[in-house]
Amino acid sequence: MTVPLSYYLLLSGFVFLTGVVGVLIRRNIIVILLSVELMLNATNINFVAFSEYFHNVAGQVFVFFALTVAAAEVAVGLAIIIALHRANSSIYVDDLNLLKR
């Protein structure tokens, strides 16, 4: 007896929404990037689950591309955080109001 597909969808939806809420409620920009990683992992779980249930390996190939984008996002994002910290000496998002002043 295999696990139904909807259980995986439920899990990935929950993880994705946790990531969305994390982006909205955290002030530390590093943890916001970690929440984006949560969302990317939720989509990866979906891809692999559908790939297994439809016996199509293309879903697993797409996880690779998602992984590439995640790695690029982390590299550029952390570089931006370092530049921000150097310019502003703060990594809290509500301190970054340069365009509002």
Partner 1 sequence: MDHIFFFYFAGVIAVTSLLVVALRNPVYSALALLIMFFHVAGLYVTLHAEFLAAVQIVVYAGAILVLYLFVVMLLNVKAEERYHDQLPVAGLLGVMLCTEVVLLLIQSRTATSVSAAPADPVTAAGNTETIGEVLYSTYLFPFEVASLILLVAMIGAIILAKKDLLEGPSEP
Task: Write down the least CB distance from residue 101 to partner 1, Å.
Answer: 19
**DSSP codes, 52-72:** HHTT-THHHHHHHHHHHHHHH
Q: Would you count residue 88 as binding partner 1 (CB under 8 A)?
A: no
Q: Would you count residue 37 as binding partner 1 (CB under 8 A)?
A: yes
- Residues 69, 71, 72, 77: is their CA dihedral positive or negative? positive
Q: Would you count residue 4 as binding partner 1 (CB under 8 A)?
A: yes
| CB-nearer residue toward partner 1: 24 or 98 | 24
Q: Would you count residue 24 as binding partner 1 (CB under 8 A)?
A: yes
Q: Would you count residue 51 as binding partner 1 (CB under 8 A)?
A: yes
- Tell me the C-alpha distance between 9 and 22, whole Å: 20
